[in-house]
Amino acid sequence: MRAEESRRILWLALASALVVAVAALYWSRPRRAAVEPAMPPPEAARPEVVDPWKEAAVKVEEDRGEPTGRQADIDIPSQLKHGEDRRRFLGVQVAEWRKHRFERPHDFAELVALIRDGQLVEAPALGADFILYGVGYSADDEPFTHYDAAADRSVTLFAGEAELRQEYEQLAESGEQLTEVIEGLKKEAAGLPRAERARRKEIDEQIKDERKSLDTLRKRKRLLDDFYKKPEQRALMFAEYEALSSLARDFGGETYDLQDAASRKRFKARLLSFVRPAALGMLEAVARAYREKFDRHLPVTSLVRTDEYQRQLNETNPNATLIDVPPHTTGLAFDIFYRHMTAAEQEFVMAELARLSDEGRVEALRERRDHYHVFAFAEGRRPDEALIAETLGRKPAAQKQEDDDDKKQRAAQEKKPAKKTRETSRAAAPKRGRAAEQARAPRPKRAAERLKPTAKSRTARRRN
């Protein structure tokens, strides 16, 4: 009995040791890091949204095992291509804006006003069927500015007189320091021996750089003077800052500190996640169909833009057009990202957009930089052709047809021979004689001879 118990205890000890060894091997093995998406979550995404957003983004980016994006072999519907007149695509969108005259934000302060007024609605970072994938990603963390679209100038907004005065004082102090540096370099250069050519050249370059910096300060001061010198204009600038600050203090339960660079960037990114209701409805419809088919969220990269932000994007993105009415500034446009989509996914999305285009509900284009640009019409129908033609600087089709008919009628009347009468015959006789006489007259060889009247020409004038 004792021998059996000893063997049993021994087996139990061995089994326990084996379990401990296996557990040790399991917990000591290298841990696989969680997969992170290539695109970071939106700056303004709430903490509870970040992880679900990452999961959706990873699924957007996952390897499909076949060519994607521009590498995929696809057929592009004609509805998503430029037509014979490449201007028409933008012209239709501008015509829609001319039809409704929607307010367009020049800068973030005006964008806040549209949001406050309820003209724009927010698209969540992770919707039911779409994901904001890079919306507002290019927004900077600089202080907010007022944008003068007519002059293409941006000037910093200040909270009040104290901040403005502090800015002027800093400019003056910096200017004095640069002036002292320049004068010091000049004195050093004047005291150098002639043989010190290398050092003299180096000093000259330093003086040029310091003068450029000084000139930049002076330009900034002139810019502040242009926008803040008049009391009424200064009050408007302070009011714009207060509009931004007021929303930042309570933006749907979130708070943003305008004095903090990172917080400003998050605030700007969130402001750029708004769009007009018609556009959001169209986005949701396309996204719903796509997710039902492929079980992925539809990636959206751009919604509303300000004129100022549009110009910043144009420096790196040629698709960010600089026409007078960029479509994204109307709040009716959004961009779909197709870089990670297979041929089947792309053709499905394009078929949906082509159908909506045929129904006159959107204008769409497949852009080369991995995007589908979609513009939703506010009332679900394309603007009249007459307005489109007028926007493009052309006559409407009906007016053009009427003008063509008039031309044909006039041409027919000119070809029709007139009835001869005695009076017309008599009036025509001298003309025939004069024409014949001019035909018989010798043609002058020099310009001077053309100016000198001949005897025959004088005789012809007397007869007439």
Structural domain includes residue 151: no
Q: Residues 176, 243: one domain?
A: yes
Domain boundary among 226, 257, 288: 257
With a CB cutoff of 8 Å and minimum separation 6, the contacts of 82 are: 88, 89, 365
Positive or negative, the CA dihedral 31, 33, 35, 41 is positive
So what's the pLDDT on residue 65? 96
What distance in Å separates the CA atoms of residue 209 and residue 246, rounded to the nearest whole number? 41
- Give the DSSP letter string of 425-436: HHHHHHHHHHHH
Question: What are the distances in angstroms from CA 147 to CA 106, 109, 230, 252, 312?
Answer: 6, 9, 17, 26, 12
Question: Which amino acid would we find at residue 194?
Answer: R
pTM listed for this prediction: 0.75
How much is the pLDDT for 463? 43
Indicate if 285 and 136 belong to the same structural domain: yes
Q: Does 318 lie in the same domain as 233?
A: no
Query: Which residue type is seen at 88?
Result: R
Q: How far apart are CA 376 and CA 347, in angstroms?
A: 20
On whether both 373 and 326 belong to a single domain, the answer is yes
Same structural domain, 231 and 375: no
Q: Looking at residue 419, what DSSP letter applies? A: P
CA 81 to CA 103: how far, in whole Å?
Answer: 29
Do residue 276 and residue 376 come from a single domain? yes
**Helix or strand run (H / E) with residue 401:** helix 397-415
HSE of 138, CA atoms in CB hemisphere, 13 A? 16
Q: Quick one: pLDDT at residue 101?
A: 95
Q: Measured between alpha carbons, how far is 3 from 238 in angstroms, rounded to an integer?
A: 94
- In terms of DSSP H, where are the helices of 148-230? 161-190, 197-228
Residue 307 located in a structural domain: yes
- Domain finish residue from 383, 401, 434: 383
Give the pLDDT confidence score for residue 447 in this predicted structure: 41
Residue 3: C-alpha distances to residues 9, 118, 190 (Å): 10, 87, 107
Whether 54 is covered by a domain: the verdict is yes
123 and 52 within one domain: yes
Q: Flag whether 221 is in a domain.
A: yes
Residue 112 lies in a domain: yes
On whether the CB atoms of residues 103 and 119 are closer than 8 A, the answer is: yes
Q: Does 225 share its domain with 288? A: no
CA-based R_g, the chain, Å: 37
How many angstroms separate the CA atoms of 252 and 264, rounded? 16
- What's the domain count of the chain? 2
What is the SS3 assignment for 255? coil
Distance CA 390, CA 395 (A): 6
Q: Report if residue 458 sits inside a domain.
A: no
Residue 19 lies in a domain: no
Decide the pairing of beta strands 333-337 and 145-148: unpaired
Residue 71 DSSP class? G
Same domain, 140 and 165: no
Q: What is the amino acid identity at position 16?
A: S
Same domain, 276 and 379: yes
Residues 138 and 276 in one domain: yes
Select from 196, 228, 257 the last residue of a domain: 257
Look at residue 20 and tell me if it is in a domain. Answer: no
Q: Residue 292, SS3?
A: helix
Q: Helices 108-116 and 261-271, interaxial angle, to 10°?
A: 50
Written as one letter, the residue type at 15 is A
Domain that holds residue 126: 47-144+272-383
pLDDT in tens, the chain (464 residues): 555 665 565 555 555 655 445 445 544 544 444 578 888 888 777 788 889 999 999 999 999 999 999 999 999 999 999 988 889 999 999 999 999 999 999 999 999 999 999 999 999 999 999 999 999 999 999 999 999 988 999 999 999 999 999 999 999 999 999 999 999 999 988 888 988 889 989 999 999 999 999 999 999 999 999 999 999 999 999 999 999 999 999 999 999 999 999 999 999 999 999 999 999 999 999 999 999 999 999 999 999 999 999 988 876 655 556 678 999 999 999 999 999 999 999 999 999 999 999 999 999 999 988 999 999 999 999 999 999 999 998 655 555 565 566 666 666 666 655 555 454 444 444 444 444 444 454 554 444 444 344 444 444 444 44
Q: What is the DSSP-derived secondary structure letter of residue 82?
A: -
User: Do residues 136 and 43 touch, judged by C-beta distance below 8 A?
Assistant: yes
Quick one: 286 and 140 in the same domain?
Answer: yes
